Structure 1
Amino acid sequence: MARITAGVATSHVPAIGAALDQGKAAEPYWAPVFAGYEASKAWIAAEKPDVVILVYNDHASAFSLELIPTFAIGCAAQFAPADEGWGPRPVPVVQGHPELAWHIAQSLILDEFDMTIVNRMDVDHGLTVPLSLMFGQPAEWPVKVIPLAVNVVQYPPPTGNRCFNLGRAIRRAVESFPEDLKVVVFGTGGMSHQLQGPRAGLINRAFDTAFLDRLVADPKGQAQVPHIDYVREAGSEAIELVMWLVMRGALDETVREVCRFYHVPASNTAVGHLILENPAP
Structure 2
Amino acid sequence: MAEISVAIAASHAPGLTGWFDKAPEADRKTVLAAYAEIHEAIVRSRTDVLLVIANDHIANGFVSDYNDFTFGLADRHTGPDEWFKPWLRVPDYELPGSPDVGEVLYESVKDCAPRVRATRENLRYDDNLSVPTTMAGLVSTGVAVVPVLQNCTVPPVPDEKVCYRLGETLGEAIRTRLPAGLRVGLFGSGGLSHEPGGPRYLEIDEKFDRWWMDLLVEGDHEKIRTDVTFERMEEAGSGGTSELLSWLVVMGAIGPRPCKALGYAAVDQWRCGFGAVRWDLS
Q: CA RMSD in A?
A: 2.6
Matched, 1:226 2:229: yes
Partners of 1:156 and 1:48 in 2: CA distance? 38
Counterpart residue identity of residue 233, structure 1: A
Write out per-residue CA displacement over residues 72-116 of structure 1, whole angstroms, 9 at most, x where no aligned residue. 111221122122344684232121111111111111136677521
Give the corresponding residue for 1:2: 2
Partners of 1:26 and 1:159 in 2: CA distance? 32
- Structure 2 CA distance for partners of 1:18 and 1:251, relative to 1, 3 Å: same
Q: C-alpha displacement at 1:5, in angstroms?
A: 2.6
**TM-score (ref. length: structure 1):** 0.86
Partners of 1:132 and 1:226 in 2: CA distance? 30
1:1-281 equivalences in 2 (<5 Å): 1-18=1-18, 28=25, 30-65=28-63, 67-81=65-79, 82-86=81-85, 89-109=90-110, 114-120=115-121, 121-135=123-137, 138=139, 140-176=140-176, 177-216=178-217, 217-224=219-226, 225-255=228-258, 257-265=259-267, 267-279=270-282
Structure 2: which 5+ runs fail to align? Answer: none
Point out the structure with the larger helix share: 2
Structure 1: which 5+ runs fail to align? Answer: none
- Structure 2 CA distance for partners of 1:26 and 1:239, relative to 1, 3 Å: closer
Secondary structure of 2:110's counterpart equals helix
**TM-score (ref. length: structure 2):** 0.86
Q: C-alpha displacement at 1:171, in angstroms?
A: 0.6
- Structure 2 CA distance for partners of 1:106 and 1:197, relative to 1, 3 Å: closer
- Structure 2 CA distance for partners of 1:231 and 1:112, relative to 1, 3 Å: closer
Partners of 1:272 and 1:195 in 2: CA distance? 17
Secondary structure of 1:37's counterpart equals helix
- Structure 2 CA distance for partners of 1:169 and 1:175, relative to 1, 3 Å: same
Partners of 1:70 and 1:110 in 2: CA distance? 11
Partners of 1:80 and 1:259 in 2: CA distance? 30
Q: Which shifted more, 55-64 or 28-37?
A: 28-37
Q: How many residue pairs end up in the alignment?
A: 273
